[in-house]
Homo-oligomer: A and B are copies of this chain.
């Protein structure tokens, strides 16, 4: 009748039995004989002072106390198991889990995965795309790449340079709208995923940088930046794209960035990891590769004039 935790082996046996609703299968799971399992359950029941299972002759059934114990026990052991795997993952120098937004994943990371795999064949890289800010310590993620102003408390944070945006479109559309003035009449694509930026970094801002008035009319809106760029690739309109999102499509000729003017926000991508994990070999390798890869294409924008939005 103790108030503290019962013997954990017994509790574990109960968890398995409750999950399988069978002592025999639970015993199999734990690699012990049914007799041992039966004994453990019995000892747990003795600790509690009441039966946890009702023994029907061909089956077992949880008593009320058993029903109260089972879900929490399962949660608890699952938590322990996850924690143990986390610890093991730290030791694993061959795998690396990276989380990034869907757009960066689709437009920048995924196309370069092959490159990285070739440069580091020993590392097994996994991508986890999602906007939810994951808890690096609890969710088993080694690296997060996030866009924004970012406070990044408690994390090692390597900021990339400030991000800027410039109009991109198919060569066809570029021919049809050769000047910024003409562009105002083009079908415009809006990327709502960066509407949180302040000061804003949108179409009116870009035209303002050109010294042109512009009031947004109708247009196509996308909640993901990669969808906006994809739409531009199909030629339905002109998108205002961030560097990493457009680089691939520009290099491969699907899109052009004919106006050599970009507006720059203070927001940027940051490479984040746990401070104690900064020097793990696979994280260090990925970090160095990541920033080198950015530098590789930096020259492409040498002839762009970049105007900070805060000056507009």
Contacts from A to B (Cβ < 8 Å): 3-6, 8-9, 11-12, 48-50, 52, 64-73, 75-91, 137-138, 274, 276-277, 280
Q: In whole angstroms, how far apart are the Cα atoms of A91 and B88 in the complex?
A: 39
| A68 and B90 contact, CB distance less than 8 A | yes
Q: How far is the CB of A63 from chain B (nearest CB, A)?
A: 8
A-B contact pairs, 7 of them (CB 8 A): A8-B80, A48-B91, A68-B87, A69-B87, A70-B83, A71-B83, A75-B83
**Among B6, B67, B280, which residue has its beta carbon within 8 angstroms of that of A64?**
B280
| A67 and B137 contact, CB distance less than 8 A | yes
The A contact surface, by secondary structure, is helix
Q: How far is the CB of A65 from chain B (nearest CB, A)?
A: 5
Given A64-B277, A67-B276, A68-B137, also A48-B5 (CB < 8 A): no
**Among B79, B90, B277, which residue has its beta carbon within 8 angstroms of that of A76?**
B79
| A76 and B72 contact, CB distance less than 8 A | no
Given A9-B8, A67-B137, also A79-B72 (CB < 8 A): yes
Q: In whole angstroms, how far apart are the Cα atoms of A148 and B89 in the complex?
A: 48
Q: In whole angstroms, how far apart are the Cα atoms of A77 and B77 in the complex?
A: 8
Q: In whole angstroms, how far apart are the Cα atoms of A4 and B29 in the complex?
A: 11
Q: List B contacts of A80 (CB < 8 A).
A: 5, 8, 11, 72-73, 76-77
10 pairs of A and B residues whose beta carbons are closest in the complex: A72-B83, A76-B79, A76-B80, A8-B8, A69-B87, A68-B86, A65-B90, A68-B90, A75-B79, A68-B87
Given A76-B76, A77-B76, also A6-B84 (CB < 8 A): yes
